[in-house]
């Protein structure tokens, strides 16, 4: 049990173990950490006054808590700062001074502490990874496109900054990511990561979870490689390529998908992900739904008789599946465009031709044949660049395209046989 003398030395009044009003008002700068450490628990809580309303409350269980008594708007209030000795005497005085400044502004320190804690919690919840996944989920993309974008983020971006609050990501972080991606993953991955990060930060700024886009200051630090577009194939090369594919001893399904791409000039992804429900073989029509199209508009493709024959043959093999060309390992999913690249690599065509160049080649040759650019662009599902013309031109030219694509398919057969000197003659517009 403490004596009256001990309580006096520590600034504790003997009455009810509470500091006197005089002790609360007078600063106690002479009190030491040693005296605070030496304070023993009693059967009731008591206070050790430090001065200016700051005191240490000693609990019967031995815990010692910093408290500060203050007045705001005519009312007495208290706030706590933490435990002693975790919070030293000096740190408690510093906390009191900071709280005093808030009180002068009419702010309750405890309420400000709650607000700061809430803000800190929100910042932790608003990590770059959380915002990035939210951004991807909001995109009007196919699921496979979303998965590809998440994949590049998981491989290149999330490891260094994914767990950081978006506001804490700095340009130095971004530059490090770009340098590593350019070195380890290639320039195209680096540039895609840069575009993606910038779009995510733009979204974060718009939703008040970031102040700036840290990609912008370093956006030109690593230049993009000049795009090398594959040139259109000549009629001789078209014949050689298709003949090589037909003689390829690899996966028959890959060969059929490749040939369907040439017969329709559809995008590689549209072909490999095609579903049987999209085809009407009797009407010779392929109806690609809007959700699978790049421009999110339904696209009708006329099927030449060569394509119908190919599809009827495939139906005997995969007609019970959802997709024309099921994935090799998971038959519930479609094959991937990488299958084309692997086949071209085996055939020694990978450096001369890419699957997407099929459309470039088809467009070039059909234009040379004198077909209407409107028909060709509609076949390729390209959008009219002229906004005014696009508004008034809703024509599909389906019958005209059917005639055009039948002649195209016939020419592919002739070029495959080595008849490269055939001069195509454009037929008249369909009735």
By annotation, the residues acting in catalysis are 267, 294, 356, 359, 382, 392
Distances (CA, A) of 189 to 138, 156, 196, 245, 337: 22, 9, 10, 30, 18
Q: Cβ of 92: how many Cβ atoms within 10 Å?
A: 21
Using DSSP's 3-state secondary structure scheme, residue 368 falls into: helix
Distance CA 45, CA 59 (A): 5
What is the residue whose two structure tokens read 């290639």? Answer: 186
For residues 274 and 361, give the distance between their C-alpha atoms in angstroms, rounded to a whole number: 22
Show the tokens assigned to 218. 């370093």
The two tokens of residue 228 are 């090398």
CA distance 129 to 202: 14
Whole-Å CA distances, 91 to 33, 47, 85, 96, 113: 12, 18, 10, 9, 16
Residue with tokens 């024309």: 324
Which residue in this structure is represented by tokens 């608003």?
Answer: 126
Contact 169, 128 (CB under 8 A): yes
Phi and psi at residue 52, to the nearest 5°: 60, 30
């Amino acid at each position: 049990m403490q004596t009256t003398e001990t309580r006096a030395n520590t600034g504790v009044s003997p009455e009810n173990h509470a500091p006197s009003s005089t002790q609360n008002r007078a600063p106690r700068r002479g009190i030491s950490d040693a005296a605070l450490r030496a304070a023993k628990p009693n059967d009731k809580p008591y206070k050790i006054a430090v001065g200016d309303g700051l005191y240490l409350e000693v609990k019967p269980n031995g815990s010692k808590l910093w408290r500060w008594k203050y007045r705001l708007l005519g009312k007495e209030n208290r706030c706590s700062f933490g435990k002693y000795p975790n919070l030293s005497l000096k740190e408690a005085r510093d906390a009191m001074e900071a709280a005093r400044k808030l009180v002068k502004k009419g702010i309750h320190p405890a309420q400000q502490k709650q607000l700061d804690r809430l803000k800190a919690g929100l910042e932790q919840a608003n990590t770059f990874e959380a915002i990035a996944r939210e951004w991807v989920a909001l995109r009007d993309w196919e699921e496979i496109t979303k998965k590809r974008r998440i994949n590049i983020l998981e491989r290149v971006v999330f490891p260094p900054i994914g767990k950081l609050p978006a506001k804490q990501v700095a340009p130095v972080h971004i530059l490090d990511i770009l340098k590593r991606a350019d070195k380890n993953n290639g320039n195209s991955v680096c540039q895609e990561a840069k575009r993606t990060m910038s779009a995510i930060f733009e979204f974060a700024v718009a939703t008040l979870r970031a102040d700036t886009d840290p990609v912008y200051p370093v956006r030109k630090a690593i230049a993009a490689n000049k795009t090398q577009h594959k040139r259109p194939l000549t009629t001789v090369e078209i014949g050689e390529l298709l003949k090589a594919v037909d003689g390829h001893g690899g996966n028959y399904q890959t060969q059929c998908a490749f040939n369907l791409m040439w017969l329709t000039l559809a995008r590689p992804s549209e072909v490999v992900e095609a579903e049987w429900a999209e085809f009407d073989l009797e009407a010779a029509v392929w109806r690609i739904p809007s959700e699978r199209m790049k421009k999110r508009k339904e696209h009708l493709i006329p099927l030449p008789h060569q394509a119908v024959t190919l599809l009827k043959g495939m139906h005997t093999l995969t007609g019970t599946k959802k997709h024309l060309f099921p994935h090799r390992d998971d038959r519930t999913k479609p094959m991937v465009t990488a299958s084309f690249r692997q086949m071209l690599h085996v055939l020694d065509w990978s450096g001369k031709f890419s699957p997407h160049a099929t459309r470039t080649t088809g467009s070039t040759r059909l234009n040379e044949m004198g077909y209407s650019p409107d028909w060709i662009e509609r076949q390729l599902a390209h959008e009219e660049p002229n906004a005014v013309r696009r508004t008034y031109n809703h024509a599909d030219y389906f019958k005209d395209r059917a005639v055009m694509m039948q002649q195209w398919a016939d020419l592919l057969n002739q070029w495959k046989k080595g008849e490269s000197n055939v001069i195509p003659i454009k037929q008249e517009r369909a009735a």
